[in-house]
Every structure is written in C-alpha cells, then in structure tokens.
Chain A
C-alpha cells in the first residue's frame, strides 16, 4: 500500500526511533546508577573494619546493646530473675512478670526470659561480627586495636555464654554472623560451650592489656587481662578445676597495685565507678549531654509504690536473717521501711537512682575482688587446703567487721564459703542461684523454702518463641 519511498522516509523515522531505544536500553541497564552508599549513620561491615576508630565504635556497642535492644531491662533482669529464682528477693506484691521466677514456675512465653536470652545472644552476635571483621581486615588495623577488639569481644562472648548455659543448660553455640541460617541452630552440650568459653577467655587474657588504658575514660568499664582472668577463675570454679581456679584467682589477688578491697568504713564505695575493688563494671550509655536511663538496679530496688512507699523488690526473710549481728554489710547494703505493720527490707548497694547528666557515679559491678578471695577459698577447700581457705574467708569476714570463721573441716569450710558468698554477693547478678545449682545444693536449700520446688527448676526454659522460630531447639525437661 505504501510506496517504497514512503517506506524509506519512514525508515528514517524508525531508525531514529530505534536508535533512541538502543540508547535507552544502554541508559536503563546502567545498573551502577542505582548503587547508593549507605546513609551517614550507617557503615557497611566492609568499611567499618578497615579503620581503628570505627572498630572501637563497634566495640562500644558490646556494652550499649543492652540499652538499645532491650529497653534497658537487661541489667535488671540479669540480676533480679535469678535472685528471685533463688532465695534472695521477691516483688513486693503479686506480679505477673517476676512472680513466676520467684515461684520457680516460669512460663516459656515469659517476656523477661526472652529479654535476657535475646540480649545475651545479641552480645554473642556483635562479638562474632567484630571477631570475624577484625580478623579478615587485619592488614588495615593497628596491632594494639586488633588485640583489644578481639580480646574484648572474646571476653564478652564468654561472658554471654557463661550466663546462657548457667541459666538454660545446653544452648546453641553460635560463632558466625549468618543470622538467617543460624536461626535454625540446635543445642550444643554445655561442656562444649564451656570449652569455647575457656578458649575465649585464655585468648582474651593474652590479648588484653593489664591496665585500664584502653578505656578512653580510663575507667574500669572495659574488660582487661585481669577481668578475663577473674572470669576464668569463676569458670574453672564452676567446672571444678580447682587448681586452675586457684591459680587464676591468685593472679588477680596479687595485682595489689591495681586492686584492693574497700575497707569496712568504705563498703559503699564498692559500687562506685572505678573503685579499687572493681575488676569489671558496666556503665550507662550517654547521648550528647544526657545520661541515658537511670541506674536500673537502683531504680528497681529503691523506687517505690506511690502510696505505700514499698520498694519494688524486697529481700526474703531468709536472706535478712542470714546476716550475722554486727555485719557492716547489713548496715551499709540493706535498708528497710515499715508499712501497715510489716517491715520491708531492700538492697541498698546501688542508690544513685536518677543521674541526670554526665556519667553516673555508680556502675554495674560484674566482677570485683572480693569474689576472687571466695573463689580461691572454695578452690583451696576443695583441694583440702583448709588453712588457705580459712585465710581467704577471713579476709572477707574481717573486712565486714566480723570475727574469723569457726569452720574447720573441709565440708564446713565449703558451707562457710557458700554462706559468705550469699551475704557478700546478694542481689549481684544471681551468684546465689548459680552457687546452689553448681554445688547441687538447690534441691536441699530451695526445696526447703519454696513450695512446689522440682529438681528440674534449676534450668530456665528455652523461650517459647525461640522454639517456634527454631524447630531444631528442644525444650528443657519440666516445661
């Protein structure tokens, strides 16, 4: 119909048209265009681990994580839950959150249970991420920063796993950052996890500095060589490796230029930031001028109901009665008030509830020197070194204004250590709960005071949502 010449004419149009198409295709398939750099508050892992400064920033998140991911409840729950489960404290009235811990009848769907679990595994993730990031970018990083990063990460990984296995028993041992696949991980035996914890702490010990100079504020809010040693001493003690525990504890105790017990008159100072008794503390986070959040433990123990003024967490009668007369720890670390004819006792180790600006005077104490004495005392007692054990127990007793221990036999000394640990470390991140479990005394002690106590209660359940999201996970018996 159309002539050839018209066709030629159209061909010109068409060739331009298709020329345009060709250009467009070239243009459209320019995939590089749609690459965008990450936003200015994000760094890709490739970039992050190529600079000392950003590695240090990532490292800081090991300690702030508890603030960011768990609505600031981590510090509370890591202390309050196990102490409720043991015979230390309970919530002042019936409370659906903490009562199940106190009654040793925990619903696997309990939100606090999931909170602690998640925060600890978040710590594991960050530690894994930093370790692998630093190791694969070693050529870009200063040697000292690498050591610090890997040392602190391994310390914190061990720290997190220590609490995970002592709360839940066997837990998945995760050492990679592939979240989408590790979500299907199965449980690893407690022993294997302990092997990893020991290896991590030994490596941390070899990499971390002996002083606190890697902390920009020079405070004891970063783990150092002796923090790793102190935690290792605790781990060996839990594992029953008595001589190892003794050796590690001795190493820490011998650092007298760095560490020293507070005097009886200054017992309150043991919870102040950077005091000589502290080996490893955690601080609150800040944003600009604002100190983020209160001292959560002070808040939890001292904040009271508006009407009755009763604190949220009150000490059990058993704990209050366990104090010997004249114990300075009682007069310094315990407070009480009366309401409607009842006297309520509450812990008063942390008391600076509401620091508004700058750094808080208090910091959460996770490792302090007193524990090393009692670790060594127990390790020595177990090795039948009763004299050594007695000496170490008396250091702690005398410091609290008490006379020497009357225990003589190995068995009595072990009970004396147990009691001293109960008094010294009440409401400090669950020592009592772990002590009763590891010495197999939970049934005897808690069975006597807790109605409905079952042997299987020594392990917390695996959080329900974890089991539904990870079909490879099994639940602990009794749940």
Chain B
C-alpha cells in the first residue's frame, strides 16, 4: 500500500504542468523542511501525555516515539503476547512512564541514546562467562541485550555505513554517520564488523555494560581499495561496473605536466596520446574506442563533483568563430596540478556511467582532489629539478646534403629547366658544402624543469584541512626564451558537528599557467615540421652573421625557420574549481547532501608577429592577434542516500538531482595589422587596420537520478540506476530523456562449493551490466531558428543572416552498452586477474546530413538511422610475486583490444561520409591509393585501379568501395591493442617502479605523407625529404624528381603526388615505451628523528626513457610532424615534518 501511494504521487508529480510543478516544487521543499525540523523539535520533549483503554504495547511505543522521538528496539514478535494497557497520564517523565507501562509485562527496559531496548525479565547471564567460540544457538536471542559501540577508521574518523552482524546469525545493523551502532547481542557473541575498503574484524563481546570502540584497518588488498564512482564509492571487490582507478601514488611517480599523461597505459580501455612533446600541448583521450561520427568523443570530466570543460576553451560551447588555435592543440586538464590529485576513476560501462545519463556515452573521468589528514599538523615539502630533451632516436633521417643536391639537380634536368639564382638558390647561391642539422637546431636543446610544492595538513576528526601550493616550471628545447610555468593552490577543509550529524566539506583549487612557446597559431604543425623539411644548405644568417637570412623570390615557398623566434605566442590560463558540500544525517543510515560548485576557466592568448618574423622582401608590417575565452559553470546537486540492512543484505538507495548552467564566452578575438612599430603591437588601435570577432553560448542542464544497490551477504550484488535529463541543446519537446542501467555481480568465491573445493581461489566474481547512456556533445542551439552575425557589415549595416537549418527533432545520441566480466583472485589474492568484454552500440548517431542547397542550406544536424559499434576484450593482471619483510615485487599488466565499426548506414551514399567511411569498417580506416610498385616502362610509381574503370583516377573523387574513385582501405589509425606493464620492487627502504606502455599496430601516415600534401615532388622546391624518399628516387632512376608542375596523366609530378597519398607512406606505429622509471629511497627513521621529520624520500624519476618502434616519423604516439615528446629526468626530495 505504501508503495502504491508513493507510486501515484510520483506519477502525479510527473504529470504536472510546468507552472504547477514549479509551485509544487517550492511547496514540497517547504513541507519537507518543516517535516524534518518538526521531527527534531518533537524529539526535544521527554515527557509523555497519553490516555486510552486496552492499548496494545505497539500503540504505546508508537505514541512514545511520536511525542519524544525515542524509538523502540526489539524483535518483531517480541510484543505479540503482551497484555493490553489502560491508562491516563499527563506530562510524566519517560522513565516513569515506562516503569508504569511495563510494570505487569514480562519485560525490562534500558535506554541508550534515543533507543529503548526491551528484554525479557529472565535470569541475567553472568558477565564473567567466557566468550563462547561456537555460534550461539538461536534460542539465545531471547537473552540478547543491547550492545552499543562506535566504529572508527585508522585516522579515528567515525565510519558510517559499516555492517555489524552477530556472527553466525542473520542479525545485523549498519552504523550511522557517527559510526555508532546498537545491536542486541549476548555476552559471548562475536561481532563481525565489515566495510568496503577495510579489513573485516571479529570482536567477541565480553561485557555488556561498556560502549565498544572498534577501529578498522584499511585493507591492503587491491580488491578493497576505495574506488570513487558516480555519487559514491565502491571497491573492486563489490563493484558491479567497470571502473579503472589510478591513485596519487602512481601519479606522483611521473614527472608529467598534464595529469592525463600519467594515465597512459595504466587503465584498460583508456587510450591517451599526446599531440606534441611541447609543454601544455593537447592530449587526446578515448575510452573504449570512439562510438560517434559527428558529435564529440570527449569523455565527461568531473573534478570534485564539478563538470569540467572537456575540450579546449577556444572551441568550448560550440565556438567555431575564427580563433587562435595553437599548432599543438591544448588540453584543459593542463590547468589541474597533478600533485593535488588524490585519485582518478575512469568509468567505462553502462553500470558505471548511466548515472551520468546523457553525458556518459564516451565514458566518465572522475578526478578527486586531496583531503586533509586527521592528526598532528604536518608540513610536507617536495622539491625536484630535472632536464628534458628530445631523445636522439626520435629524429627522422632526412636526405644528406649530397643526396639532396643530386635530387634537386635531377629535378631541373628532368624538367628541362636551367637552374638560376632565382629558382634554385639552394644550388647556386647557398653554400653547397655546409649542411645544417635542422632537427638539432630547432628542437635539439635541453630544457630544465623545476617543481616545488608545500602542503600543510592537520586537524581533528571534527575539523581538518589541507592547504597546498605548487610551482612548476618547464623550459623548452627550441631556440629562444620560452617556457611553461604553472602555479596552483589547493585548499580542502572538512568539518562536522560533535554529533556527526552535520558536515561540511569545502574544496578550492586554483591554478594559473603561462605558456610561452612557438605554438604558431593558425598552423597545423609546430617547429617539428619545419625542422624536417628545411633544405640542408639553407643559411640561417646573412653575411654579417647578425640578421636572419632571407631570400627574395615570389616563386619559392621560403621562410627562415628562425623567423619563428620573432613570433611571441603567450597563453595564460586561470582556473578555479570550488565545491561546497553540506551533509545532514537526521537518522541512522540517511544522509541528505547538497553539493554546489563553481568552475571558471579563462584563457588569454596573444600572438605578436614582430617585423623580423616576416621576410623583408614581403613588405609585411608587424601584426598581432589576441583572444580571450572563458567558460563558467555552476552546479547544484541535492542528494539523499539511505543505507540499511534488509535481511542479510545491505541496501543503498540514492536519489539526487542536478541543475547545471554553463556559459562560454569569447569576448574578443582581435586581429590588428599594419603596425608601424613592434612596440605598439599590444595596442590594437595602433594597427593600420583591425577587426574583432566574438562569441558566446550557454548551456543548461537539469536531471534527476536514482540508484538502487543491494548487496546480499557480499555474494550477490545488484545495482540499478536511472537518470532523467533535460538538456538545453535540444528543443523543449525533445529535451528530456531517460537513461538507465542494471548491473549485477556474483561473488562465487563466497559460495561454499568454492570455499570448500578450491581453497586456492581467494576471490571470484562474475559481473555483467547493460544500460543506455547518451551523448549530447553537439554545439548549442542546433534546434533554434535564428539569425546570427559575424560582424560583417553591408552598406553601413551589420548583417544578420540565417544561422542554420534548425532541426527541432534533434536529440541525444543513444549508446547501449553491455559488458560481461570476470574477476579472479588466487592464493590470497596475490594473483588477481580481470577479464572483461564489452560491446557498445550507437543506433542513432548524430550526423551532418546533407540537404539540397536549393533549400537554403547544405546540411543539417540530425540523428541518423545508422549503427556504430565498438567492442572488444580487456585484460588485467596484478601479481605480488615476492612478498617478504625486506623485499617485495609486484607486477601489473593490462591489455585492451577495443575496435569500432560502422555497422550500418543505409543512407551513406547520400552523405558526405561516402568519401571517408565504409560500412563494415573501422571508423578510423585510412583510405588512400594502393601503391603497386614502380612501372618498368615509365619508371614511375603505379597505383591500384581501385574502381576498375581502367585508370588510377586523379583528381581523386572517392572510395573504390562505392565505385567512386581509387582510394582503398590501407590501414586504420586506431590501434589493434594497447596496454601497460608495470613492476614495482621494494627492498628495505628502496623502491623501484618500472612502467612500460605499448600500443599495437597503429597504421598511420608517416611523416612523408604530411610533407607531401604540402610540398609535392622531390626536387620541386628547395625542401628536404626523408631518407626513404631517396630510395624511391633511386628506384625510379631519378625520374620521380621534377620541377615541372604538371597534373597530366603519366607525368612524374602526378605520379609523385599520388604516391604521397598512397599506401607507400603508411607506417607501422606500433611501439613499446619505457614510459616511466622511478627510484626512491626512504631515509631511515633514526636519521629522520634526528632531523625531526616524520618521513623523507629522495627520488629520481624518468619519463619516456626509451622507445622501441619501426615508425618512420618523429614519434609513433602523436604520429604527426610535431615536436616529439621529451625525455625527462628529474631528481627530488620529499619530506614531511
């Protein structure tokens, strides 16, 4: 009945119209507030007024509870054969009242806290009776007396939600927020106290009178490490979903700028790649292979409960305004200081992500910052310094000077053109005996890094805090005065009331960084690309040796590489993430929480092109660009969770809601040109001309979520969640949607048949989940029928033009995820194995769907009837190979095989995807001409006639698979597998961590491809090429070289042009990298005591030490012609006082 009533109320509310709902909402909150407070208010009274005839004890205790808040604790059928009572009392004290009521009953009572315990008036068991070792028979329950106690953690913080059961019975309770419990038990009973992340303890009851204090130890089993999940925590043991976790231990060991880099190879299914080695560069993150065609593939980042911008600030909010994009991209996570992070959880399957509803499809990355520690106020200082450089093995071998000159001369000869000082300065003007190693000049430098952090932490169980400040500085390997600096401070304060009912947590993270680099906005490559292609005999300076050398020709693409040192790019970022969480626990097991947070990230970029950055022959005057972007987001999340025992299981219910508002602003992007002086560059109005572009957009989001978790004897676990979202990205009637998941786990190692027969199997769990999540990563306002402006004016009037073809039916991409997994532990969990297999399908991907232009637009954004799938297995192995007092050796290994596929796309022939995607193939397929060797007749490269129309078509018009052109699938850029292999050795006070990351068979265009789409044909321009190209030159007897621009069939120019877009340029980017090596020594305690330190560690760390690969470009990870990642070695000391 109760259920039905609630159900109908639920439906009634759901039906309510908007205005009514608003009113209702206010009213409900008001009523709710009153009911909570009135419950408390009535609890203050301790006197009873009651009159009645033939009242049952139930009615009497019910009245007591109503009037005083004191509740009865007893067995259910204890009150069955009691006598009815008739009485009339007015404001008599509770104890007097109880004496009166129970006078003729077979009970006596006791009061602990606000609970009344009844026990039979029977002979009391003497208190000195020894604790029985065998479980008490059920009959003993009759003699049970109330036992109270408090459970605390190792830091003496009270632990709520801990299960306390009388061993061998079904009788158990859960501790309240203060860690307190009351349980009827007998002397001699053994209490079993268990909680996630702690070692289970048994506690024999020796005497009934005193309150117990039980301290739980953290479990050192990896299975019991706390893992943060959406709106809660779990452990690997009890999780029903797929969650990968990395903690501060692993992060600290790695000298990285961006915390995402520390995740590389650590978590199954998570693929991370850096776009460039330069500090502050972008990082691409992919959880379990992309499942989307059009919409973003960014995971959802949550920092301390605050949704964090997931894409570079200059594109956030759908910003497609012309803006300054640094050549190596940008990652917003640069703004988080890695040492402030306590843990990162990566949520992968439906069970873990569905609680994030329409934003969970690409996975969720939860970042939790550090909290204060209870105890003596401690000071921790950590200082390190190191050096970085691009390792030699990342260099690309280019043609030597003599090879280069040979190719150039042949090109002129083949074209029948005489080299002149104008068209061949490299042959006739420059010193052809002196070669420059451009890679050494442009990124061969050594960078210095410095890190310093100080943190103070301390407090009591009531109030504790952590305050830390860090500074990070990283130099550059390119010529010029460039660096990356970051300062950050982090504050976390926790407080709770004496009775632990009220708690407040505050955390504030503020970071600011400044990146001076040669980022080259508006360029797709950084100096790495220039270093590769500059002619080996190109002079840097003129004859005076002071000024940059320039060459006057409008014929040749010529830029002095060092001119980039006269471009000043600066990016400044400020980032504030703050959160306040209030908790109120009115009743045992019930927590009411309100979390509110605010995030503001700001990016200011400036690019100054000084006079010397331009060729003096061009006559171009200095210019500057400047841009500001900020994203502001606030978030309000009320939540309630309730935990109680039901039968022998534990139930946890969570409900909550989210209101989120975000705004994205680009107040200005200013271009100013034609300055008369370099000194005026920052004052835009001094420019001869200038213009401005701006952008803003807003996003709002509201949702309601709930989760039900039932854990029966830590054996069977059911987890179900539901979320209903409304996102402003969709039209009002397409705005709300429901997302859900069901996950279950069976810990079969807890079954007797395993315990009895397979003693070596310490843990065995089978889990599975299925659910539906969404993806709303499209630009804002796609459904709105609007006019927009870019600031362009006509006839003195700024023009507003129709923005897009609005699609009022636009809605989320739905993503259905299924997972089965098995987690096993052997030999007391010294060997732990996990295997998971997932599949995820997107049945309505958002695509850019073409319209006939006669409609006024060329496309609109729509959910299409197509299916994208990603699936694959993931494996993880953790072993404790050696575990002794002085020496230990732990190994962990993980490998993932995620693959995506375009399963179906009925309409693909009508869309632009016809030239990029093939149904049945990976979304990352690479389509190029298929190189078929050198023609014996023409000595030129030949290619497969993919569409069998008799010729290898140029210009390329499409994919052979659709009969459009000659491009065929020659590889795919997604790896076949990837993973990591980590070993930790500890000998006495020494520790060594070795971590190897590997990525398998990533077929990507090598550096030649990127070169040739810009500079065609060996010898065509004074541009250098890879040594591999010299081989082609030899194979073709030099025929491939030409200076003649000629696209006719059979011409060397065309043959070479197609070669550059052929399978010949595909390179195997498989690699294994010694990603991290960390060595530390803990100074022995007698030394520490002398120096009054509680701990002190000296360490040496190295990143990207060694790479094994056959890749022909700079670096297989970024697979671009950007500057490769640095090898960094740092030394440091970390001490606590």
Contacts and interface: CB of A to CB of B under 8 A. Distances in A.
Nearest to B664: A39
Contacts of A184: 852
Contacts of A56: 797
A397 B955 CA distance: 48
A448 interface: no
Interface of B: 6, 9-10, 13-14, 16, 18, 21-22, 24-25, 28-29, 31-32, 35-36, 39, 58, 61-62, 65, 71-79, 170, 554-555, 586-590, 592, 638, 640, 642, 644, 647, 653, 655-659, 688-704, 706, 724, 726-728, 732, 735-736, 780-781, 784-803, 805, 807, 850-858, 860, 909-910, 955, 957
Given A33-B702, A185-B854, A289-B691, A63 B13 contact: no
15 contacts: A3-B78, A13-B642, A14-B642, A20-B640, A26-B28, A29-B704, A30-B25, A36-B698, A38-B784, A41-B789, A48-B800, A56-B797, A60-B795, A118-B853, A125-B856
A1 B858 CA distance: 69
B797 A290 contact: no
Contacts of A177: 856
A287 B792 contact: yes
Nearest to A184: B852
B795 A216 contact: yes
Closest 6 CB pairs of A and B: A28-B704, A125-B856, A26-B25, A5-B72, A61-B801, A470-B852
A14 B788 CA distance: 52
A42 interface: yes
Interface string A295-307: 0000000000011
Given A29-B21, A65-B801, 11 more contacts: A6-B76, A13-B642, A16-B39, A20-B32, A21-B706, A28-B704, A39-B780, A60-B797, A61-B800, A172-B854, A287-B790
B72 A36 contact: no
Interface stretch (A417-425, A449-457, A461-469): A461-469
Contacts of B14: 25, 29
A216 B796 contact: yes
A25 B655 CA distance: 9
A319 B969 CA distance: 50
A290 B587 contact: no
B700 A34 contact: yes
A286 B76 contact: no
A188 to B, nearest CB: 11
A266 interface: no
B703 A31 contact: no
A87 interface: no
Contacts of A129: 802
A18 interface: yes
A476 interface: no
Interface residues of A, number: 103
A287 B691 contact: yes
Contacts of B910: 468-469
A184 B851 CA distance: 9
Contact of B787 (A9, A45, A109, A182): A45
Contact of B587 (A3, A12, A43): A12
A37 to B, nearest CB: 7
A8 B71 contact: yes
B14, B28, B31, B807 — most chain A CB neighbours (10 Å): B28
Contact of A180 (B71, B780, B807): B807
B799 A61 contact: yes
Chain A binding surface, main DSSP class? helix
A283 interface: yes
A27 B638 contact: yes
Contacts of B807: 180
Contacts of B805: 179-180
A379 interface: no
A60 B799 contact: yes
B582 to A, nearest CB: 14
Contacts of A2: 76
A217 interface: yes
B792 A68 contact: yes
Interface in A54-69: 54, 56-61, 63-65, 67-68
Interface string A436-479: 00000000000000000000000000010110111001000000
Nearest to A114: B853
Contact of A466 (B555, B644, B794, B852): B852
A295 B14 CA distance: 61
A222 interface: yes
A215 to B, nearest CB: 5
Nearest to A182: B855
A122 B799 CA distance: 14
B28 A34 contact: no
B691 A288 contact: yes
Nearest to A25: B13
Nearest to A357: B689
A141 B808 CA distance: 28
Contacts of B9: 22
A24 interface: yes
A225 B1010 CA distance: 56
Interface string A90-131: 000000100000000000010000100110011011101100
Contacts of A17: 590, 640, 642, 653, 655
Contact of B785 (A8, A34, A44, A65): A44
Contacts of B695: 39, 41
Contacts of A15: 35
B795 A24 contact: no
Contacts of B802: 61, 125-126, 129
Nearest to B957: A109
B25 A27 contact: yes
A289 B805 CA distance: 31
A24, A32, A468 — most chain B CB neighbours (10 Å): A24
B794 A60 contact: yes
Contacts of B726: 28, 31, 33-34
Given A16-B590, A28-B702, A48-B787, A122 B856 contact: yes
Contacts of B699: 36
Contacts of B644: 10, 13
Contacts of B31: 19
A308 interface: no
B640 A179 contact: no
Contacts of A64: 792-794, 799, 801
A54 B800 contact: yes
Given A13-B642, A21-B655, A42-B788, A8 B28 contact: no
Given A61-B799, A288-B692, A5 B58 contact: yes
A13 B643 CA distance: 10
A22 B856 contact: no
Nearest to B807: A180
A470 B854 CA distance: 9
Given A26-B28, A33-B726, A58-B787, A41 B694 contact: yes
A93 to B, nearest CB: 11
A466 B75 CA distance: 79
Given A9-B65, A38-B781, A121-B854, A43 B692 contact: no
A290 B689 contact: yes
Contacts of A239: none
A257 interface: no
Contacts of B35: 15-16, 19
Given A16-B590, A26-B21, A290 B690 contact: yes
Contact of B795 (A37, A221, A470): A221
Contact of A117 (B72, B555, B657, B854): B854
Given A26-B25, A287-B791, A42 B784 contact: yes
B851 A283 contact: no
Nearest to A129: B802
A183 B854 contact: yes
A35 interface: yes
A14, A180, A292 — most chain B CB neighbours (10 Å): A180
Contacts of A48: 786-787, 800
A91 B883 CA distance: 81
